Amino acid sequence: MMPQRFETDSTTTLVCGFCSTGCGLTAHMRDGEAIHLTPAAQYPVNLGMACPKGWESLAPLAASDRMSTPLVRDRSGQLTPVSWSKAAAQFASVFKGIQARWGTESIACLSTGQMTTEEMALLGCLFRFGMRGTHYDSNTRQCMATSHVAYKQSFGFDAPPFCYSDFEQSDVLVFVGSNVCVAHPILWQRVLRNEKAPLIIVVDPRKTETAMNATMHLPILPKSDLVLLYGTARALLARDAVDSGFIRDHTAGFDQFAAFAQSFTEEMVLKHTGLERADFEQFINAIASGKRVSFWWTMGVNQGHESTRTAQALINLALLTGNIGKPGTGANSITGQCNAMGSRLFANATSLLGGRDFADAAHRDKVAGILGLPAAAIPEKKGFAYDQIIDGIHDGSIKGLWVVATNSAHSWIQQESALEALKKLEFLVVQDLYSTTETAAFAHLLLPAAGWGEKEGTLINSERRLGLVKQIRRAPGQALSDFRIFQIIAEAWNVGPWRHRWSSPEAAFELLKELSRDLPCDFTGIQSYEMLDACGGIQWPWPDHAASPDTSSPRPAVERRLFEDFNFYHDDGRAQFVFDNPTPPPETPSPEFPFILLTGRGTSAQWHTLTRTSKSDMLRRLSPDSVYVEINPLDASALGIQSGLKVQLASRRATVFATALVTSSVQRGQLFMPMHFRETNQLTLQVVDPHSRQPSYKYCAVQVLRSAIREA
């Protein structure tokens, strides 16, 4: 059933379901169904703009490979449609059988940053409290785990401090490992609205679209960021270009950090980063003389073998210079998926709901009280991270896996190992929109999910803004919202009466509000979905006591940043300097594998593993149709390679073929492949950061050869 309240509207606004920018899209309705989308002119995020994916969001919903019934794979490998009651009964009996034979810890779940917060919270409770599953992680591990750990250690809570107007109010913007022009094009539009003629500095081994549009590009050698940032701290200290008052009053660990940074001399920085002295000096000058300096980072930082410390090295620079809590400043991690932030707070995977601690009995009691659970139902430990789940399948300790809204067989690092793991499983359940994903090919049971636009709930964007998604289309056949699927599974499993509190997305939202109460993310002041709708989304925090008692419709300011009072979330109110010695990547180039392979986003029209964006004719026309590898002209000519030629690429894991694209946007000795084609992760090596366990997707050693044979 379509929710009554939107049925008669001719237009309605909802938040985009692709990236974390969280643009508002206006759906133009006819007979209760959206027929067209346009960017919402009044929405405070995108101010009337949208990228091609946003405009084309309806196309993936109409694709011919949408699943319309649950499907069970028979012995011959054929998929047969079954009813929801049969599917749910099989789900419960097979997983319970595995737990009975191999122990409760023998099942695992991999979820996503692409569902609503209500859905991911219900899944986290169902899997961890109801099914007693210990090992539960999600694709936000591939993406945001580093920022999560970095902020938690540095600020005391996982709290990206910025709002998007900081792009417009900064006079020096430093983007590290962030290709905003491609990955967050509407945020780049916000940068272009900055009237201060800002310095825009891009730190990236590649001359990306963003670097080409910047004032300055620092083409550092891959994974030399940590040395660069510590060397920058040393140089700022040497010039006394630091905010001593701020450091004294609001930080901890400065003396140790200042002493540590002394060994990162200019010579060392130049040697490790490959930068010119003049460029490094200009970088220091820009930060030292900037009045409002903001530091932004994305996957070039988060995906690395020492990523947490790299993110914290950026946080340290903001703390050193007092660039935090003021307009146009901040140590700002830009998130990736539409609900990465919801996942960080409420997935119930690595931290207990609301960013709490599984090991803390008081936290468990609090959550149990709100959810109507016996406290004993809440486990005292967190489970395996994604890489440990894959390893657990390999070593036989995990036998059953439930994959929800992620395409592991394509996006996980060192793909062969992931594929081998999926093949080994006794039972794999995949819950997706499509039956044709690389991961679905291994599934024993497939559950058809409604997609974005076919269901209701909230998403949290990069600037902590909760926004509403609405049902503007009917899901095909018997496909159901993930929320409804979790309810059906909870019933089939017979998890107990607590499940009745999760009677609808809106009821779940009330639980989330209670779970957020008195935490830094408190949003108890958001009265309803209607209030979110009316305000154009609301950023956390918005506690109920923040609402002014003398107005009948208390509304928060449209954009708010954190730490304006310079009070951080550690018990002493101070932000912490965190640092560590840099280490080399585990696999470096060798005579046999002389190139470093960089990976990342290719175009604004392509989303991840392409299951959604390849369904739009328009987006396909804006995308390259097969895998390519970018190579520097000098390397290409030494190898006799021209643009358009098929080349053979090999790492110690695999050999693949790709079309060469000769371009000076990559440096000598480096190659770049987009992550959107499955060949890329066949080459990568499973290395994770020790603190966040986020994979290092952007560094491995490969060779490239002219190919004698064309790929079949």
Ligand X SMILES: Nc1nc2c(c(=O)[nH]1)N[C@H]1C(S)=C(S)[C@@H](COP(=O)(O)OP(=O)(O)OC[C@H]3O[C@@H](n4cnc5c(=O)[nH]c(N)nc54)[C@H](O)[C@@H]3O)O[C@H]1N2
Q: Which residues bind Mo ion (CB under 5 A)?
A: 143, 336
User: Does position 181 bind ligand SF4 by CB under 6 A?
Assistant: no
Three-class SS state of 255: helix
User: Does position 332 bind ligand X by CB under 6 A?
Assistant: no
Place of tokens 């175009």: 603
CA distance 347 to 456: 18
Q: How far is the CB of 62 from ligand SF4 (least distance, A)?
A: 18
CA distance 290 to 328: 11
User: Does position 475 bind ligand SF4 by CB under 6 A?
Assistant: no
Instruction: Identify the residue among 12, 13, 14, 22 touching ligand SF4 (CB under 6 A).
Output: 22
Q: How far is the CB of 337 from Mo ion (least distance, A)?
A: 5
Q: Contact at 8 Å (CB) between 425 and 400?
A: yes
| Cβ density class 144-168: b for 16+ within 10 Å, e for less | bbbbbbbbbbbbbbbbbbbbbbbbb
**How far, in Å, are 170, 228, 275, 287, 385 from residue 284 at the CA level?**
17, 11, 13, 5, 38
Q: Name the binder of 587 from ligand SF4, ligand X, Mo ion, none, CB < 5-8 A by kind.
A: none
| Cβ density class 363-373: b for 16+ within 10 Å, e for less | bbebbbebbeb
User: Does position 204 bind ligand X by CB under 6 A?
Assistant: yes
Using the minimum distance from each CB to ligand X, give the nearer residue, 134 or 609. 609
Q: How far is the CB of 558 from ligand X (least distance, A)?
A: 24
Nearest to 169 by CA among 136, 195, 133: 195
Q: How far is the CB of 337 from ligand SF4 (least distance, A)?
A: 10
Q: Contact at 8 Å (CB) between 663 and 631?
A: yes
Place of tokens 């039972």: 427
CA distance 181 to 173: 14
> Of residues 49-88, which lie at the interface with ligand SF4 (CB under 6 A)?
50-51, 53-54
474 Cα distance to chain centroid: 27
The total of other beta-carbon atoms located within 10 Å of residue 345's CB is 29
User: Does position 16 bind ligand SF4 by CB under 6 A?
Assistant: yes
The tokens for 98 are 């595995």
Using the minimum distance from each CB to Mo ion, give the nearer residue, 143 or 701. 143
x/- mask, ligand X, residues 406-425, rule CB under 6 A, reads xx--xx--------------
The tokens for 676 are 């959107």
- Quick one: which segment of 14-22, 137-145, 355-363, 493-501 binds ligand SF4 (CB under 6 A)? 14-22
Three-class SS state of 271: helix
- Quick one: which segment of 95-103, 220-228, 275-283, 460-468 binds ligand X (CB under 6 A)? 220-228
Using the minimum distance from each CB to ligand SF4, give the nearer residue, 39 or 525. 39
Instruction: Identify the residue among 23, 275, 320, 526 touching ligand SF4 (CB under 6 A).
Output: 23
> Of residues 631-670, which lie at the interface with ligand X (CB under 6 A)?
none
User: Does position 150 bind ligand X by CB under 6 A?
Assistant: no
Name every residue whose Cβ is closer than 8 Å to that of residue 354 and which is 6 or more positions away in sequence: 345, 346, 367, 515, 516, 519, 521
Taking the C-alpha atoms of 219, 197, 51 and 30 in order, what is their torsion angle to the nearest 10 degrees? 170
Nearest to 468 by CA among 453, 488, 478: 453
**How far, in Å, are 34, 146, 399 from residue 456 at the CA level?**
14, 29, 33
Q: Name the binder of 121 from Mo ion, ligand SF4, ligand X, none, CB < 5-8 A by kind.
A: none
Using the minimum distance from each CB to ligand SF4, give the nearer residue, 14 or 123. 14
Q: How far is the CB of 625 from Mo ion (least distance, A)?
A: 23
CA distance 388 to 393: 9
User: Does position 99 bind ligand X by CB under 6 A?
Assistant: no
Instruction: Identify the residue among 296, 486, 607, 628 touching ligand X (CB under 6 A).
Output: 607
Instruction: Identify the residue among 272, 366, 382, 608 touching ligand X (CB under 6 A).
Output: 608
Omega prior to 541 cis, within 30 of 0: yes
x/- mask, ligand X, residues 668-707, rule CB under 6 A, reads -------x----xx--x------------xx---------
Q: How far is the CB of 207 from Mo ion (least distance, A)?
A: 22
Q: How far is the CB of 101 from ligand X (least distance, A)?
A: 28
Q: How far is the CB of 177 from ligand X (least distance, A)?
A: 3
Reported as half-sphere exposure (CB side, CA atoms, 13 A), residue 489 has a value of 27
The tokens for 478 are 């018997």
Q: Name the binder of 351 from ligand X, ligand SF4, Mo ion, none, CB < 5-8 A by kind.
A: none
User: Does position 307 bind ligand X by CB under 6 A?
Assistant: no
β-pair partners for 643: none
- Quick one: which segment of 26-34, 430-438, 585-593, 637-645 binds ligand X (CB under 6 A)? 430-438
Q: Contact at 8 Å (CB) between 471 and 453?
A: yes
Instruction: Identify the residue among 19, 233, 378, 389 touching ligand SF4 (CB under 6 A).
Output: 19
Place of tokens 């930060």: 287
Q: Which residues here bind ligand SF4, judged by CB under 6 A?
A: 16, 18-19, 21-23, 46, 50-51, 53-54, 185-186
The binding site for ligand X (CB under 6 A) comprises 19, 112, 114-115, 139, 142-143, 176-179, 182-184, 203-206, 208, 222-223, 225, 298-300, 303, 336-337, 404-407, 410-411, 431-434, 437, 449, 451-452, 482, 598-601, 604, 606-609, 611-612, 675, 680-681, 684, 697-698
